[in-house]
Amino acid sequence: MTAPGETAPRTAARRPWRDDPYATALRAGQGPLFLRRTDGWLMPLEVERWLADADSGDESVLARCRGAVLDVGCGPGRLVAALAERGHLALGVDVSPAAVTSTVRRGGTALCRSVFGPLPGEGRWTTVLLVDGNIGIGGDPAALLGRAAELLAPGGRVIAEAAPVEVDERCEVRLDDGRGTLGVPFPWARVGPEALSRQAGRAGWTPLHHWTLSGRTFTELGFAPSRAAAGRAAPTRA
């Protein structure tokens, strides 16, 4: 209930990441923008960094990318554009039309799709990126990493960015512009470096490299499913 004199938050009527505070921030070129948990806790989102060119942390990721690269939750496209400039076949996927538009304007290639839906080149990507908190997509990191295994070619790698602190949580969040406008609720997850390794192990992945740069923490993962898991795996879609 809203107290007298207060303004009730305005909730977006559409799906998350579409015509909501995120799209507005991308078009404006700046925040503030937050993820708001149901208990009121706010996590700032780095809109300005996402819209800038690749920084030193990004460069450390780009240096490890091999072959054809799929950037899941590509946002406004700084990594996709940088990969294209380096000669990689690179595709960004994002559920935000505003993010896809930004990626294309920067010279990258992107599709407005969910990672859990059909995607081009399934089973043939060499590197899958899950940076900028995107290990949290869907609220289940193990399920997301299982999906990544379907997308990658044999011997492919995932490069994932963990939270900078040790945490392992599943929650419901909304986008919040800090000025009273909220998006619709959606599931999210946050995992620190150790939690990421645990979740990766559950999905058949082995951590190969860990590094921290510019306050950001990354892990490169290789897929090594057990025989039982391999026997249960469904064929990948072409």
What pTM does this model have? 0.88
- Domain assignment present for 46: no
Kindly state the percentage of the chain with pLDDT values over 70. Answer: 86
* Residue 62, token pair as written in the block: 């780009």
What CATH number has the domain bearing residue 87?
3.40.50.150
Spatial distance between the Cα atoms of 186 and 174, rounded to a whole number of angstroms: 6
Q: How many CB atoms lie within 10 A of CB 157?
A: 24
Helices (H) and strands (E) in the chain, counts: 8, 13
pLDDT over threshold 50, residue 230:
no
Helices (DSSP H) in 78-167: which residue ranges?
78-85, 97-105, 141-151
The pLDDT tens digits of the residues spanning 28-87 come to 999 999 999 999 999 999 999 999 999 999 999 999 999 999 999 999 999 999 999 999
Nearest alpha-carbon partner for 125 in 85, 72, 74, 75: 72
Spatial distance between the Cα atoms of 182 and 79, rounded to a whole number of angstroms: 28
For the segment 186-210, the average pLDDT, to the nearest whole number, is 96
- Domain assignment present for 13: no
Nearest alpha-carbon partner for 135 in 194, 86, 89, 196: 196
- Domain assignment present for 14: no
Q: How many domains does the chain have?
A: 1
- The answer to whether 77 touches 110, Cβ cutoff 8 Å, is yes
**For residue 15, what pLDDT is reported?**
66
Spatial distance between the Cα atoms of 86 and 202, rounded to a whole number of angstroms: 34
User: Residue 234 — pLDDT band, cuts 50, 70, 90?
Assistant: very low
The pLDDT tens digits of the residues spanning 106-161 come to 999 999 999 999 999 999 999 999 999 999 999 999 999 999 999 999 999 999 99
Q: CA angle at residue 228 from 158 to 208, to 5 degrees? A: 25
SS3 content of the chain, % helix, strand, coil (to 5): 30, 30, 40
State the chain's mean pLDDT as an integer.
Answer: 89
* Residue 148, token pair as written in the block: 């990544």
- Domain assignment present for 225: yes
**For residue 224, what pLDDT is reported?**
77
Kindly report whether the peptide bond that precedes residue 32 is cis, defined as omega within 30 degrees of 0: yes
Domain that holds residue 127: 54-171+189-231
- Domain assignment present for 198: yes
**For residue 229, what pLDDT is reported?**
41
